[in-house]
Amino acid sequence: MGCLDGPVGARALYPIGRGRDHRGPRATVPPSTPRGPLIPRASDPTIRAVPDHRARFLRRYAVATVVYNLAVIVWGAFVRATGSGAGCGDHWPMCNGEVLPVPRSLAMFIEFTHRVTSGISLVAVAALLVLAFRWAPKGHPVRRGAVFSGALIVSEALLGAGLVLFRLVAGNTSMTRAWFGAAHLVNTFALVAALTLTAWWAHGHRRLDARARPGLAALYATALVATLAVAVTGSIAALGDTLFPARSFAEGYAQDFSAGAHLLLRLRIWHPVVAVAASVALLAGAVAGYLVTRRPATRWLGVALVGVVVVQLGLGLANVFLLAPVALQLGHLLVADLLWVTLVLLAASALERAPDAAA
Ligand code: HEM
């Protein structure tokens, strides 16, 4: 299963990327040219040729790992929204002391399913790491992305285990639970970013070069941090909605401003405020990316980001007025993840190293 070190231009062999445009070690069209190829290929001398079927498999596998993990994340939110986090008692990784329990309650079924699916995630990311190291050459960004993904899936599992072992689940209303849950969500977003970049690089894109466009890099850093702040405040709002469900919009509104209400409810109001502020940074990132780079891929990612932000703001409003039904909570979280994936791709596209830049 070792890789082949053939010449990059050979017909049967491809660098990690699609098999078009393998005409030499340097791309002829710079990325800033509006109608140039989206991905100048075979331009990176560090990309080692691998047989076509392996390169294709790695690309598809990396994308499938992102999609699978998004599904696991949404199921994780279902565990929280249905109060099923204690379904396996305070045992981890076993479920009520058993390796393969027969579910005795719905909560146990929901929590155990989350454990099994996130266990598969761990194996899937470990396999991605192995493939990246076997098939991509030393120094290739795919390897770095896979290493970060591997580290983050381990911390993800540990944070999830912490929630169970410290009993920060089900009806626990402590702020420790809120902050622990927020840390879990930030780790989740970092994991999704690492997996997304791994898939991006597996498609033959070059590494990032923030120094070539410092202004744009600062803007994307701001947008990424702002989106994380939205996610953290969102996780607090979600916990407040789950633990203290309001019976009407008026009751929820009164809870938000009542001095005697739980801190989770009083903090809830910050989520839409931070979300609207972050949306400004996201829209600026979408517009600036295209204006600075003039790359078609960057433009389409910017357009997609604007679309996702608009949908997400609408879902957020619907959540408030419909008192956050579980299906809408899951939809809002899924779109938050899609927004994050789009932002990471936009930043990666706008900050991609020029083909003729020094390695
Ligand atoms: C950029 C836009 C937004 C992003 C990225 C975002 C993200 C999130 C995230 C990650 C959660 C936590 C979900 C979970 O842990 O299950 C959340 C929850 C929530 N968000 Fe947003 N949000 C955005 C805009 C808004 C807006 C504008 C509103 C209200 C007007 C809103 C209302 C809510 C509510 C009520 C919850 C708690 C219920 C739930 O879990 O869905 N969001 N949001």
Sign of the CA dihedral with 169 first, then 91, 116, and 142 last: positive
Q: How far is the CA of 95 from the centre of ligand 1 (A)?
A: 31
Side chain identity at residue 327, one-letter code: A
The runs of H, that is alpha helices, within the chain are 52-81, 106-135, 141-165, 175-202, 214-243, 249-257, 263-268, 270-293, 296-321, 326-350
Q: How far is the CA of 334 from the centre of ligand 1 (A)?
A: 10
Cα separation of the two ends of the chain: 28
User: pLDDT per position in the chain (359 positions), as tens?
Assistant: 333 222 333 322 334 544 333 333 333 334 443 333 333 344 444 445 566 778 889 999 999 999 999 999 999 999 988 988 888 888 888 888 888 888 889 999 999 999 999 999 999 999 999 999 998 888 889 999 999 999 999 999 999 889 888 888 878 889 999 999 999 999 999 999 999 999 999 998 999 999 999 999 999 999 999 999 999 999 999 999 889 988 898 888 888 888 888 888 888 999 999 999 999 999 999 999 999 999 999 999 999 999 999 999 999 999 999 999 999 999 999 999 999 999 999 999 999 998 876 55
Neighbour tally for 120: CB within 10 Å: 13
Q: Which of 82, 192, 271 most suits a substitution to test ligand 1, by most atoms within 8 Å of the C-beta?
A: 271
State whether residue 208 is helix, strand or coil. Answer: strand
Which helix H or strand E contains 43, and what residues bound it?
Answer: none
Torsion of CA 128, 131, 135, 136, to 10 degrees: 30
Give me the pLDDT at residue 238, please: 92
Give me the pLDDT at residue 49, please: 59
Q: What does the alpha-carbon distance between residue 215 and residue 78 come to, in Å, rounded to a whole number?
A: 39
Bridge partner list, 95: 98
> Distance of CA 306 to CAs 15, 107, 285, 302, Å?
33, 37, 10, 6
Burial 172-193 (b: 16+ CB within 10 A, else e): beeeebbebbbbbbbbbbbbbb
Shortest-distance atom of ligand 1 to CA 319: 35
Tokens of 2: 């070792």
Query: Which residue has the least CA distance to atom 17 on ligand 1?
Result: 234
Give me the pLDDT at residue 338, please: 98
Q: How far is the CA of 250 from the centre of ligand 1 (A)?
A: 19
Give me the pLDDT at residue 16, please: 52
Torsion of CA 138, 206, 36, 14, to 10 degrees: 30
Give me the pLDDT at residue 117, please: 96
DSSP state of 24: S
Give me the pLDDT at residue 39, please: 34
Tokens of 112: 């155990």
Give me the pLDDT at residue 354, please: 85
For residues 156 and 191, the answer to whether their CB atoms sit within 8 Å is yes
Give me the pLDDT at residue 102, please: 83
Shortest-distance atom of ligand 1 to CA 237: 37
Shortest-distance atom of ligand 1 to CA 81: 16
Residues with Cβ within 8 Å of residue 282, at least 6 apart in sequence: 223, 226, 227, 305, 306, 309, 339, 343
Query: Which residue has the least CA distance to atom 41 on ligand 1?
Result: 329
Tell me: the pLDDT tens digits for 202-221? 998 999 999 999 999 999 99
Residues with Cβ within 8 Å of residue 86, at least 6 apart in sequence: 107, 111, 164, 167, 169, 170
* pTM: predicted TM-score of the whole model, two decimal places: 0.86
Shortest-distance atom of ligand 1 to CA 330: 16
Burial of 273 from C-beta contacts in 10 A (0-12 / 13-18 / 19+) = exposed
Q: How far is the CA of 32 from the centre of ligand 1 (A)?
A: 36
Give me the pLDDT at residue 358, please: 53
For residues 216 and 274, the answer to whether their CB atoms sit within 8 Å is no
Q: How far is the CA of 62 from the centre of ligand 1 (A)?
A: 27
Q: How far is the CA of 57 from the centre of ligand 1 (A)?
A: 35
The closest alpha carbon to 164, from 75, 70, 239, 79, belongs to 79
The count of residues in the chain is 359
Give me the pLDDT at residue 254, please: 84
Shortest-distance atom of ligand 1 to CA 279: 1
Q: What does the alpha-carbon distance between residue 168 and residue 174 come to, in Å, rounded to a whole number?
A: 8
Tell me: the pLDDT tens digits for 141-153? 999 999 999 999 9
Using CB distances shorter than 6 Å, the residues near ligand 1 are: 77, 227, 230-231, 234-235, 237-238, 241, 271-272, 275, 278-279, 309, 312-313, 316-317, 319-320, 324, 329, 332-333, 336, 339
